[in-house]
């Protein structure tokens, strides 16, 4: 197995929204806001190369929305999904599986393309797209709180293409050493892929730990539908990380840090033990 970091771009979100009830005087020591209280975040995907399978985990915000939509998120930087795939030696047509942790627009927007005439097409024409029944229903029948994050043009064409499959106990991507951690605090049945990679366990954290700054239990995003449940789920995963040798957290939204390991400090609080790039795992 080989793992490739795929950068799909940088964007900005309000710092207060990203840290919920935590005061700015605390979170701003970890992630610096600009004059408008906006912080830069990555949309870092992961490409898993395993035999004849190429599984892309999440795919960023995409390019098909209009200028007004993108103006809210201040897209910047030199990264793009296609250029990052090319740098890794692949094209969208090579992808065999697209694993969608959840269907918020900054995680699945790259699933579907739109041409100059407004016609939608699948960005990965030869891939199976993976979701799960509970989350799919949650996303296609959205609650008012999340409705703006579940965009029909990102989601429904996947099903209409015939390329959608639902993960179950007996049906999942054919990737060796793949496990899935389900969490429900951020949104219903978010899926975090856990990969056995060399001597490591690598957890793709998606929005459970958006960044290293979200390790403290109370640092929960304002976007989460069930923040108290998120705190419980964070604690369970952090305990697992501490008690499992070579357990690595892979951060999707941290603009600086790709990976981290976890420890408890002298007060019993969770914090990063070490921050590093995925390539350091060899």
Domain boundaries, the chain: 2-281
In terms of pTM, does the model score above 0.95? yes
Residues in the chain: 282
**208 within 8 A of 226, measured Cβ to Cβ:** no
pLDDT in tens, 87-102: 999 999 999 999 999 9
pLDDT single digits (tens) 38-89: 999 999 999 999 999 999 999 999 999 999 999 999 999 999 999 999 999 9
Superfamily for the 2-281 domain: Ribonuclease Z/Hydroxyacylglutathione hydrolase-like (3.60.15.10)
Percentage of the chain lying above the pLDDT 90 cut? 96
Token representation of residue 191: 């899926």
């Amino acid at each position: 197995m080989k793992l490739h970091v795929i950068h799909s771009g940088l964007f900005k979100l309000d710092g207060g929204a990203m840290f919920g009830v935590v005061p700015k005087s605390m979170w701003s020591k970890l992630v610096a806001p600009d004059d408008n209280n906006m912080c830069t975040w990555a949309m870092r995907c992961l490409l898993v190369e395993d035999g004849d399978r190429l599984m892309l985990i999440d795919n960023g915000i995409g390019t098909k929305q209009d200028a007004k939509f993108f103006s809210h998120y201040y897209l910047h930087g030199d990264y793009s999904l296609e250029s990052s795939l090319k740098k890794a030696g692949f094209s969208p047509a090579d992808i065999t599986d697209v694993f969608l942790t959840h269907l918020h627009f900054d995680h699945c927007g790259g699933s579907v393309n739109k041409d100059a005439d407004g016609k939608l097409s699948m960005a990965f024409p030869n891939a199976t797209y993976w979701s799960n029944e509970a989350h799919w229903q949650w996303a296609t029948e959205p609650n008012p709180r999340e409705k703006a994050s579940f965009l029909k043009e990102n989601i429904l064409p996947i099903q209409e293409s015939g390329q959608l499959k639902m993960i179950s106990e007996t049906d999942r991507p054919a990737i060796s050493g793949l496990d899935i951690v389900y969490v429900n605090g951020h949104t219903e049945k978010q899926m975090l892929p856990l990969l056995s990679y060399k001597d490591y366990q690598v957890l793709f954290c998606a929005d459970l730990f958006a960044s290293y700054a979200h390790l403290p239990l109370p640092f929960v995003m304002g976007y989460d539908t069930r923040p108290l449940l998120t705190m419980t789920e964070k604690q369970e995963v952090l305990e697992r990380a501490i008690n499992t040798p070579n357990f690595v957290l892979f951060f999707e939204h941290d603009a600086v840090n790709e990976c981290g390991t976890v420890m408890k400090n002298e007060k019993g609080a969770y914090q990063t033990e070490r921050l590093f790039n995925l390539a350091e795992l060899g």
